[in-house]
Every structure is written in structure tokens, then in C-alpha cells.
Amino acid sequence: MVRNVLLKTASTLDDKKLLLLFIVVTTVIIIDYEFGLIADFIPDTISSGEGISLFVSTAVIFATTSLIILAYVRQIGKKSGAKILHLARTHKLVTIAQYMLIVIVAITVFQVLATMQYDIFNLAVSLSISYGLWIVTMILLASAFFTWYKSISSHNESQSKILILILGLSMIAYVINGGSGLASSLIWLQEQNPVIKSTDVAFYPDFKPESLTSQIGVVNQLSSTVAYILTWVSTVILLRSYMNKIGRLKFWGIMGFAFIYLITFPLYILGFLSPTGDTDTEVMNNILLMSPTSIFAGLVFGAAFLSIARTLRPGTAIRHYLILAAYGMFIFYLAGSATVSQAAYPPFGLISVGFTGLSTYLIYVGLYSSAVTLSQDLTLRNTVRKSVLEQSKLLDSIATAQMEKELQTCVLTIAQKTSHEMKENTGIETSLTEDDLRDYMSVVMNELKIGVK
């Protein structure tokens, strides 16, 4: 019954409804993230009746929206017939993990409402599941990219090879980032009371710089920076082919905006932007002012993928996958910046952690399929160029309109056959339309004419 309702709801999602869904998710994460971040400053506020009601509301929205998103991804996979990354089995794994997170959140809500306390064990399990999903999906992606790189290293476009290599390296950086983040969070939880009561205040433990925990924190920060830079570079390469669709100025404006995060994050890590103030209120306000940098990061990558997606044909698999990558990137950078290890009452930050693993799954599905599509587009263009050169030699000349028409028909047939074969192998169709292929053929043919002159 519930499954049918979810599938029916997911089937009605168009671009506007999907955008609205993720606006709701984003709002919930921001509320949960911000309250968790400053929980030690406002313990009475968040533990009040209004604060607990807010936490329960975010928990309900978390359960509902995450299941709708999973149903939506499942439908896309069925419609496109995608054969990438064993999507069906992976989807089952992610679904099981998400249901477990929903159950844990429900148990925590029940404990808060019924006993005015909750077990710290709930937070440890939630972190382990979410970050475990993060690590596993990124490992699978890294493995897929490197396997793909080996298979095309001797016969594909250099741009495609560089893209796949950088994507593979960025996934490794994310694996390290996720592993070190999980380790740091679990160590933090060991410093908390086993049971958190309504009178307890969120606690951020301090560790000496030479301690193992601090060293793990440094690894986490460095891997995050490296992953971000590699993601920025790969996003530029991945979407550059579509630059003309959204405009060169708009494209570089979006990607240039990323440097806000790229500059502020290292300064924060080095201590130059540490939140300070004469009063607790000033410190809290400074923390809230600095926290949106992660939103900027996700917004940049999300906007880049979303802008390209909106230029493609509605209903196509690649359009859906680019949209998933867009929302996945945005939610990942937003939810991944949250923490629940401060053990606030109620545990604000838990909902954000619950969305982290799901966001990596959206990236997993969307990013790889987008890279596959780009590679196929490059291969198809190369096939068109090669065919034009070969067929023009057979026809001796492309000077007459009849010759050009025959050449276009012949090359288009070859290109369509290649496109069909690639879709059969991957389950993902190329983003190039027949008109795109004709336009590219005209470019190549004009080059030949100039060469002849």
C-alpha cells in the first residue's frame, strides 16, 4: 500500500514538482543543520515544546521525502533501462539503509516524546549507516571510473580520458573524506553521556593538536578541499561541451562563484575566519554567518548541472540524470557539513545526517550517467567526422548539393547505428539529436571545403 502510494506520487513529479520537493528538503536540512550548529547557545529554546515540535516535524518530512526520492530514482531507472552500475541491486541496498535510518529517527522521536531522553547509540548507528553509504557509493564510483578509464585508455578522446581520471581521483578523495569524517564523529560521541536528557546541553569536545582525533580532523579537512577542487575541475570538463546551450558568460559565472567557497574554506581551516565575539550572541551570529559557505558550494555544482539539464529534451534519460546529479551535489554539500555528534537535545543534525547517504546515491546515479553520455557524445562526434572523411573520398567531391545530400544520408545512418549500439550497451541515450548531428556534419564538411581551397 505504502509502496504503491510512493510510486504513484513519484510518477506525477515533473520538473516543477521535483524542484518544490527539493526546496522542502533543502529547507528542512538548513533548519536542522543551523539549530544543531548553535545548539549549545540555545539549549532552552530547542528543548522547549516548540523546539521539540520542530524536530518532530523535520523527522516526518525526512521520512516522507526520502522515500519519494527513492521511488522517483527507481522509476527513472526503469524508464531508461539503464544498465550502469547494477542500479537495481544498488537501489535495494540504499532503500534498506534509508528505511533503517527512518526507523532509528522514529525510535529517537519516540524516546524524546515519551521519556524526555534518548540513547546516544541511535546517533552512532545513524552516522555509521549514512557515512557507510557515502563511503560505499564513492568506492563503487571510483572503481567504475577507473575500470572505464582502463577500457578506453588506448582508443578514446583525450578529453574523455582526463575527465574520467579526475572523476575517479575525486571519488577517492571523497572516500577518505567520508571515512575520516565518520571516525571523527564516532570519537566525538564517545565523549558524550550514554543517555542524553532534556537538561543536557550540546557539547563540542576539545582535543589537543597532537592527538589522533585532531590528526584525523586534519585529514578530513584536507581530503574535503582536494575533493572539492577535483570536483570543480571535472564539472568544468564535463559540462563544457554544453557551454553554448546556456551561454559562455553564464557558465563561467556559475563556476567562478565556486571560488567563494574555495577561498573561505581554507581560511576557516587555517583559523583566519574563526567565529569570535565579545558575547555568546556575537559568536553565535558569526557562526551562522559563516555556515552558508557549504550552501554556496553545493549551489554552484547543482546550478551547473541543472542549467545544462534544462536545455535538453524533456523526458530524456540524460536530462533526468543531470537533474539528479544537480540535486545530489547540492544536498551533499549542505547535509555533509552538518554534525550530530554534539548530542543536542533533541538531536538536531540527525535529519541532515540521514540525508547525506541518500545524496551520495543521487550523485552516484547522476554523475556517472552524465559522464557516460559525454563520452558517448564525443565518440559519436568522432564517428561522424571519421565517416565524413571516408565517405567524401569515395564520392570524390562534396562540391555539389546532391553529393552533400548523399554524404549526409550515409553518415547519418552510420551515426544512428553507433548511437543505438551505445544505448544498448549502457542503457543511456546520447544527448545529441539528429539536428545536432546534421549541424556537426555541416561543420566538418565546411572544414573539408576550406581544406580543398
Which pLDDT tens digit goes with each residue over 252-279?
Answer: 777 776 666 656 555 554 444 555 555 5
Q: Which residue has the cell 558568460?
A: 249
Q: Which residue has the cell 552512532?
A: 124
Report residue 172's pLDDT band, with 50, 70 and 90 as the boundaries. very high
Are residues 422 and 284 part of one domain?
no
The answer to whether 103 and 113 have CB atoms below 8 angstroms apart is no
Are residues 387 and 347 part of one domain?
no
DSSP 194: S
| Range among 37-41, 208-212, 258-262, 385-389 rated most confident | 37-41
For residues 319-323, give the mean pLDDT: 81
Q: Judge whether 366 lies within some domain.
A: no
Distance separating alpha carbons of residues 132 and 427, to the nearest angstrom: 28
Which of the two residues, 382 and 89, has the higher pLDDT score? 89
So what's the pLDDT on residue 453? 43
So what's the pLDDT on residue 104? 96
Based on the structure, what is the number of domains in the chain?
A: 2
Q: Above 90 in pLDDT, residue 392?
A: no
Which of 289, 323, 358 is a domain's end point?
Answer: 358
Find, among 314, 302, 288, 403, the residue nearest to 41 by Cα: 288
For residues 135-143, give the mean pLDDT: 89
Which of 293, 328, 358 is a domain's end point?
Answer: 358
The answer to whether 285 and 277 have CB atoms below 8 angstroms apart is yes
For 48, residues 6+ apart whose C-beta sits below 8 A from its C-beta are none
Q: Write out the three cell numbers for 179.
A: 571515512
Q: Judge whether 235 lies within some domain.
A: yes
Are residues 39 and 89 part of one domain?
yes
Are residues 153 and 15 part of one domain?
yes
The answer to whether 301 and 324 have CB atoms below 8 angstroms apart is no
The answer to whether 99 and 81 have CB atoms below 8 angstroms apart is no
